Structure formats: C-alpha cells, structure tokens
Chain A
C-alpha cells in the first residue's frame, strides 16, 4: 500500500502541502490538483474523542510545536515527495485558538521562505466549505451546513473566496449542545455519539423541550436555551438518573435539534435564487438522525445531498491543502506578512475589497 508510488511528474498539479493547527487538532497533508489525497496525517486520528470536535483539550501551542515538524515530514514521506516537489504551502490562518494558528502559519511561512514556494493562508471555515469539491467534485453554487463543536452556520458557497453566510448560531454551536447535554445526562464522552446511542432507545415524546427559532424568519440557530431546558428537565428527575430517563431526554433533545436544523436549512434553501445541492460538514454530520432528516429534506426538494466522509468532516489538513489547491488554481497567494486571526468570519473576507485576491 504505497499511495505515493507515482512520480511527482505523473501527479496533477498543483501539489499543495496543507497545515492545520487552529483547534484541538494538529495535522499535515499533501493534496494534488485533481483532489487526490497523497497523505493526510492527523495527530489524534485514532482518538475517537474528537468525533464531535468536542471537549478534550489539546490546548497547548506547545503540543503543536512539538509535533508539527514530524507531522509535516511524515506527510511528505507518505506522499513520496520532497519540499522541492510541492507547488505551494497552505496553512490555516484563522479563526481559532491563536497560539495554535501562529505556530502553524509561522511554520508554513518558514517552509515557504526556505523552499521558495508560495504561501496560501486559509480560513479554517473555508476548508470545510470547499471539502465537498474535494470528495465529490460538486459544482458551485451549493448550500453548506457546517455543524461542529465550534461552528453552526449555513453558507451559500458561490465560488472560491465567495461565501455568503445566511445564518449562524447566536449562542452555542450544535456540537457544544450535544456535549453539554451528554454531561447533564451523565453520559460518556464524546457527547455526540453518547447522546445518539442513548436516544436510540428513548421516547422522544415523553419530555417537551423548546424548539428554538423554529418558524422564525431567517436561518440563525440558537441552542443555549435548549441546553438550559435540558438542565431544568434533568433537575426535575429523581436521582440517580435511570437509563430510561436518560434515553428519553436524549431522544427529545436529538429530535428537537434535528427539527431545528431541518427548519433552518429549509429556510436557507428558500433564500437561494435557485435549487442547488445541500452539503453538510462538521462532526455533527456523523449523527445518523440528523443526517437522515437532511436526506429527507433534500429528497423532498429534489436536490443532491452530499456528506463528506467523517474523516474529512472533522478538522483535518487535507481540506486546508485542498483549499490551497483551489486558491492556487485561481491565482491567489499571500504575502509572508499575512497575519494570523483568532476571529475571521468567512463572509467578511468576500466582502472586503481585495481580500484574498
């Protein structure tokens, strides 16, 4: 199994090294111009704690520093390439925990300078937004639902660098709501799969939870009040919680989340000028109930539904390398004085004149 046996000359250009260090994840990957993933090395790839982008910290910039060199070396080795063979270095420049972003971006700058390759700074959210084109070649435009531990957004993806945010959470991300619900129910970690497992045997009708923003105009999300309602529901139950109670609360919660996501996504589809594919990304896309509800919506609307494989839904460097490929093809590169950004909404980039162009 040598995925990298081909000589660099035989691989579609450009070849982009991608570096991701903005969240809890540290990763390096090499992706070719035709979407072939030549390598994809994720520090915690075997750690299922990450499935919902959840609550296990790998806070340390120190950890990124310690591991990044080795990860990059391994990504190049697995691709069978040297630094001289690649065409550009792409790194997440934000948003995210700034220590990690600085380490990844600075490393990318050093490689770019040392090897004489162009640097491409990538918005982490853009990596998610462009991933469906890496796996299925879906054409622009499409509607992206990004649901993870840190993000909950609906984006109209109109082209490389052209993203319109239609809706976002006004408080908690949906993955965070799963994690905190799991904690309130005393379920295991990671929270998302634990809630889904418990919900499988639960009665979703026993408890009534609020259905935040359903029916309201626009397509923003809100999950903070739902979290509080779960807490109040749990507080009224006898201790210790029975498996039955846990399952029923989990089922009620998951059903509400599914209903909210479908309602908001339906409204986002209505905001677009024409029918287009629906794409879901982020760790919460792993939830079978939510995925099924979205598939139903897409079927009812007669549109394609694309869900990248889980490994590419969660944080990874292949998506950063691929976003680098897309920008490189479009002739976009960045100067070496590019600044890391802890906050970087995706659509202000498109709105800012001359940004990323």
Chain B
C-alpha cells in the first residue's frame, strides 16, 4: 500500500508494517519507505529532514554509487540556508558548512580505510559541534553513533529511487511527526 502522506513534502509513504507482511518493524525500530520517482523527490526528502534536524544529529546516508546520497545532502544544506557550492565530499572527505541550523559537516567515508581514520577527520568533534551528514557510513563501523537516523537510498530502473528511513534513539519520535502514520 502506497499512500500520499501530506507532511508538506509530497512524498509517498508506505509503512512496511502494513505493506510488507513479515517485514513488521520492531517497536523500537520504526522504519518507513518512501517512493522517490525523481530527483526532485529526493531533494524534498532532504528538505524535510533539515526541518527536523538538530545539533548533535547524525544522519547516515546509505546507498550505492548514484543512489542520490549527495543530492539529498545538498537539498538538506540548501534548506539549512547554504547558498555556496555544495560539492561532492568524496575527494575532500568532509565539507564543513555554517548553516541556519548551526555547523553541519558533510562527510563521505568512501575513501577511509578503517574506523580509526575517523579520529583524523574530526568525525566525533563534528558530532559535538553540530549536525553530521555522512555518506558511506558503514565504513565507520562501531564508531557510528547509536542515536541516529539511517536513510538507505536504492536506485531502481528509470531513475526511480526508494528511501528507507530507520530511526534509532531520539529520531523515533521526530520521524513519526515528520511522516505521520498515513493510517
């Protein structure tokens, strides 16, 4: 079942618990799936997340090459008032921004070799300072904060994407507010 979910972002939301028998989420592990038929919808999701983000947040952007991670992060940063360039962070590993939401660090861990490299790139310091958006978060291993929002983007045929949002810790309640249960 796919239903329009208001929330001012025009995203189609499907609760896995209702639409996918056997995929019912744990009570402390609420996840929801969004259809992102085009890049504009990916951007809308980025903006929506910016509306709910707070200093200290970690938003982990999972997904393969071309899944739309940087596009989502760029929309997040634009919504947070960033007007300067938002380049891919792959080469620089981290791009720091001063935003209306405070400091936001956009990480790309594609090039790091082990979680211990996180010390060198100031990952935890960035979490202390503000919001962290992190691509290729699985490379952080156990160093990824337990309190975070996991966003998994999947590229389907013809540019259609899906996003699976999985809230951990404090994000649980906020996500529920952002995408109210369509039922």
Which residues of A are at the interface with B, using a C-beta cutoff of 8 A? 23, 53, 55-57, 59-62, 95-99, 149-151, 168-173, 175-176, 180, 183-184, 224, 227-228, 230-232, 342-343, 345
CA distance A172 to B85 in the complex (A): 11
Starting from the known contacts A59-B93, A171-B88, A224-B71, 12 additional A-B residue pairs (CB-CB under 8 Å) come to A55-B110, A55-B111, A57-B93, A57-B111, A57-B112, A59-B111, A60-B120, A96-B92, A151-B91, A171-B70, A172-B87, A173-B88
Give A230's nearest chain B residue, CB to CB: B66
Interface residues as binary, B111-144 with A (CB distance below 8 Å gives 1, 0 otherwise): 1110001001110000000000000000000000
- Please tell me if the beta carbons of B88 and A224 are within 8 angstroms of each other in the complex: yes
Asked whether B84 is an interface residue with its Cβ less than 8 Å from the other chain, the reply is yes
- Using Cβ atoms and an 8 Å threshold, which residues of chain B touch A95? 92
Give min CB distance, B78 to chain A, whole Å.
12
- Please tell me if the beta carbons of B91 and A59 are within 8 angstroms of each other in the complex: no
- Using Cβ atoms and an 8 Å threshold, which residues of chain B touch A59? 93, 111-113, 117, 120-121
A interface secondary structure, majority:
loop
- Interface size band for B: 20 to 34
CA distance A62 to B114 in the complex (A): 14
Asked whether B95 is an interface residue with its Cβ less than 8 Å from the other chain, the reply is yes
Which residues of B are at the interface with A, using a C-beta cutoff of 8 A? 64-66, 70-71, 74, 84-85, 87-88, 90-97, 110-113, 117, 120-122, 155, 157, 159
- Please tell me if the beta carbons of A97 and B85 are within 8 angstroms of each other in the complex: no
Q: List 18 A-B contacts (CB under 8 A).
A: A23-B91, A59-B121, A60-B120, A98-B96, A98-B122, A150-B91, A150-B92, A168-B85, A172-B90, A176-B90, A231-B65, A231-B66, A231-B155, A232-B66, A342-B94, A342-B95, A342-B96, A343-B96
